[in-house]
Structures are given as C-alpha cells and as structure tokens.
Amino acid sequence: MAGRNGRTVRDLRRGNRTAVLQRLYFDGPLSRFELGPATGLSSGSVSNVVAELIADGLVEEAGSVDSDGGRPRILLRVAPGSGHMIGIDVGETRVRIGLFDLTLTELARAERPLTQQRYEVEGIVGHVRDGITEVLAGAGVGPERLLGVGIGVPGIVERMPRLGAVVHGQTIGWDAVPLEQRLRDGSQLPDSVPYFIDNGARTLGQAEMWFGGGRGARNAIVVLFGSGVGACLVTPEVEHGRAVEWGHLTVRVRGRRCRCGALGCLEAYAGAESLLARWGEEGGTLPEGADEEAALAALLAGAYPPEGGAADPVALAVLEETAEYLGAGLSDLINLFQPERILIGGWAGLRLGARLLPSVRRHAASYALRHPAGRVTIDVGRLGPEAVTVGAAILPLADFFARGGRRAEPAAEGPPPAWHTNLAERVAH
C-alpha cells in the first residue's frame, strides 16, 4: 500500500535498512543506541532493522563498550563475509581484476597486460572472463556469493534494452560495443549476477569520494590521467558523479591530432601517449620495446636524474609544457564547475603528480578566474593505482545498499538507476 508520498511500506523498510547499513559501514562499529541519532530512526525501528540484518547475516556483533551506569552496549558492524564483489579496470596498459569482500578488503587479484592489439574486443572479453575465474578460484569463493561485477572502461557507456551496457570508445576503436552481452555469452557466472559497467573516470571518482581525497567534499572533480585524460564531476546536482569527456576539450585551434580524430584536444597534449610522442618528436630517446609505463618512467628519470646527474633539457621542457596544458585544462573545470577539490589520479597522474603538481597548480591559477581559483585545492588522489578497480567494485556494493541489503532479482535487466543514491550524504560524513 502506498502512502501520500507514493512510498510503500516495502520502500520504507528498504530505506531504513539502507540507512542502518550505510551508517555501520562508514561510521561503525556502532551500538543500537548510537544508530538512532545517526540514522534519524526511532529506537524501535533501529531494533527491528538490526534484528533483520543480523538474521540475514549482514550485520554482526563487534564487542561492547561501557555505558553510563547501565549494561555494556553491544557494538555492531557490517559482516565482511556476507557478500563479495568483483571490480575490474579495463585500463590502457593492463586489465586489473580484484575480488573484494563486503568491506572492500581485497581477497584476490589478477592482471592481464595488454599487447599492441590491446583493445581488440574479444581479447578484452577473454581477459575479463579468465580474470574472474582466477580470482574466484584463488579465494575459494563461489560465483553464487557475488553481489555483482563492476567494470570501469574507457569511453561513454549507455544501457540498451536486451543488450545491457554498450560502450562507445572512439579513442580505442570501440563503436557501440555490446560489452555486457559479450561478457554474458559463454560466461561461467550465473545470469543472476549483475554487471555494472561504467566509465573508468567515474569509477575512479566513486573510489576517491567514498574513501579517498574527495571524502567530505560536496563539489569535487576527480581527474583520470593515463594514456588519455578524463574526469568525473560530483556536485549536489549530480551527486552520483558524471563522467565528462574533459580530454576532448579543444585547447588549441588547428593543433595536434587527437586519438579521437579531432584537432587540438587536451588529450593530444596532456595524455601520456601524446606526451611520449612529443618527447620523441623533440629528440628524446624512447626505450626500445618499452610499454607506456616504462617509457614514462624513463622520461621522468631523464628530467629528474639522481643527485649529481645532468637533467635532460628536452624532457624537462616537454614535462613543463604538459603541466601548463594540464593547468589550463583544469582552469576550464574550475571556471565551469567551481569545485572545492580537484584530485588527480590514474597511473600517469600518480607517477607525474609529485613532480608536476606545483607547476600544474600555478598554471591553473593563472588561467582560471581568481575567485573560484582561490577556493579550490588541487592534489593527487590518495588511493593509488588500484583506485579504478576499487571504484568498480563499489558499483555493485552501492546498488546492494540501495536495495537495503537485498540481492538483485535474477530477472532484472540490470541495475536500477538508484545505485548512486545518497552519495552526497555518504561523502559529507
């Protein structure tokens, strides 16, 4: 039966379960007494919800604390082994697959380096399938225990009837690839296990906003700096985060050709692929047979040699130009969205951040309007190279919370749009 606001009793129970699970997850262990003010629920509602969650195996006791003049209060926490998620980063140099328990403790990991034919669809599908099998076997977890598989990919993702998630990855040659359907065809996972496929910058943003440098901010931008560049915007208006194709803003008219085919994109100057290409064009020596990660390490070593060594002026000049382009690109984000924080992640961002961050900040401030530039902080992300994988695992976890700790129905076509609910509340705490 629906009330005046259209919510049914079932909706209210699900909302109460969600509130208790989230508070225990982010602030626990907590007692029943503490859960009341933390969730806004009455003591009776808290007791009923906690009893349900304990019966479902989702919540467990975690010791006790003394109370003023009364019996010790039992502490409660989310049970780590009550569910498992797989997070996958389809990156630019490798595919990373991680298996996590409900508290996002990594239980197993697999990696598949990408070859020169790196984005051939069937090759990626094979890496993902093999990696899922490997991590489940390595941790001794059955596929029926999975809450879902989250995957971060390059490109724009849309959901289509019967096909599920379809990826438009222009820079990697993917034209409307029905990735979810390809993964389900021949998969060893039960049909009841949902896939949550999203842009890699968005999954990076999810991770940093939940557990990293974005926690506590209501307006933030998380930048993914790898072979190319992208960003995730989080504001009260788009609290679930939105991937923005920041790398394809035009920063130079009739400039270098980008991987997307256009001229003058930021990615054509600031992505690791273009950075290395510019270094080679200026006379830099790229290590023979090295992948992008090794080549970038060589560039950094040339620009910043050990104490007493002579710096390569070409490498230094290319890096400084890259810092200016990044700063100018960030100034566009600052002027458009006026964020509190900007966080730089991705494998290349993490490698370059310590060296380039002061210069990037200086250029961003010089190109942006003074008022929003004076209110923003620019830092390197805190979660390291595994952030996209962790963020991908958060997608099924957030959906699980939104359902009040209930698993997705087997017949469902995919995750409801509610998987992102209450992100602003989670971040604020």
DSSP string, 176-211: EE-HHHHHHTT-SS-TTS-EEEEEHHHHHHHHHHHH
- Determine which helix (DSSP H) or strand (DSSP E) holds 109, and give its type and residue range: strand 106-113
Per-residue pLDDT of the chain (429 residues; tens, 9 = 90+): 445 556 688 888 899 999 999 999 988 899 898 898 988 889 899 999 999 999 999 999 888 777 666 678 889 999 998 899 999 999 877 899 999 999 899 999 999 988 765 678 899 999 999 999 999 999 999 988 899 999 999 888 999 888 889 999 888 888 999 999 999 998 889 988 999 999 988 899 889 988 888 888 888 999 999 888 888 888 766 555 677 788 888 888 888 998 888 999 998 998 888 999 999 999 888 887 778 888 999 999 888 888 767 888 999 999 999 999 999 999 999 999 999 999 999 999 999 988 899 999 999 999 999 999 999 999 999 988 889 999 999 999 999 998 888 887 654 444 443 334 343 344 333
Contacts of 33 (CB under 8 A, 6+ apart): 43, 67, 73
- The amino acid that residue 54 corresponds to is I
- Contact indicator for 419, 159 with CB cutoff of 8 Å: no
- The whole-angstrom separation of Cα 149 and Cα 165 is 13
Confidence (pLDDT) at 391? 92
Confidence (pLDDT) at 287? 81
- Contact indicator for 84, 102 with CB cutoff of 8 Å: yes
Helix 32-39, helix 43-55: angle, nearest 10: 110
Q: How many CB atoms lie within 10 A of CB 209?
A: 29
Confidence (pLDDT) at 370? 95
Cα-trace Rg, the chain: 23
- The whole-angstrom separation of Cα 215 and Cα 424 is 10
- The whole-angstrom separation of Cα 132 and Cα 362 is 43
Confidence (pLDDT) at 27? 87
Confidence (pLDDT) at 167? 92
Distance of CA 203 to the CA centre of its chain: 2
Confidence (pLDDT) at 375? 94
- Contact indicator for 195, 151 with CB cutoff of 8 Å: yes
- The whole-angstrom separation of Cα 253 and Cα 15 is 51
For residue 40, is it left (φ>0), alpha (ψ between -120 and 50) or beta? left
